[in-house]
Amino acid sequence: MECYILKQDDHVSNYPRIKDTKQIRNVFGDVTPMYCETKEYSSSLGYIELPFIDKPCFIVSDEIKKIFSSYQEGGQFRTVMFSGKDGYSVLYHFYQPVLIDCLSDVTVFYSKKTVKELVLDGSKIGANKVFQVAGLSEKYLIVDLEILEIMLCNGIYPIVFQKVAISRETNNGS
């Protein structure tokens, strides 16, 4: 089993950003599509439509939504249309992954719940392929190798991924 943290490509600065983050506080309290105005970006390049945005919450493209929903049960999506004053608009989906209590006892922390070295307990992950690790202050979106390969084979970029250490722990005292 191999798992990876999926991250936004921070080298891209001209991606759609939510102008007023207050409107997404309870984004999953409703299922109707919503509209979010984007912050102005002063560049002749325009916006780059990232397939995955992790700030201020997980936001995925339609293509990633199709992959995630095909391979992982339990996650929630809410459709959102980002648009700017210049007539720019793009369809995205807020994503709330399933929470899995799979943090290994050998995970190393800087301070309470701030991770220095993330290690997951492979025996607790089970068949989950897209999930968030429960019990951490940081939000990590974890995907298994199969999901990552599907994304890369479908030309989904720019994204950043980082391999996560997996341990095989048992709670039976052996």
- The DSSP code sequence of 58-69 is -EE-HHHHHHHH
- pLDDT at 124 (0 to 100): 96
In the beta sheet, which residues pair with residue 90? Answer: 82
Domain ranges of the chain: 3-167
The predicted pLDDT at position 174 comes to 40
Tens digit of each residue's pLDDT, the chain (174 residues): 999 999 999 998 888 888 888 877 778 877 788 888 887 665 566 678 899 999 999 999 999 999 999 999 999 999 999 887 777 788 999 999 999 999 999 999 987 768 999 999 999 999 999 999 999 989 999 999 999 999 999 999 999 999 999 998 655 444
Which residue in 5, 19, 84 sits closest to 47, CA to CA?
Answer: 84
Q: Strand, coil or helix: what is 8? A: coil
Q: What integer pLDDT is reported at residue 24 of this predicted model?
A: 79
Owner of token pair 């990876």: 4
Q: State whether residue 145 is helix, strand or coil.
A: helix
Angle between helices 145-153 and 62-71 (to 10 degrees): 150
Q: What's the confidence (pLDDT) of residue 41?
A: 62
Q: What is the pLDDT of residue 173?
A: 46
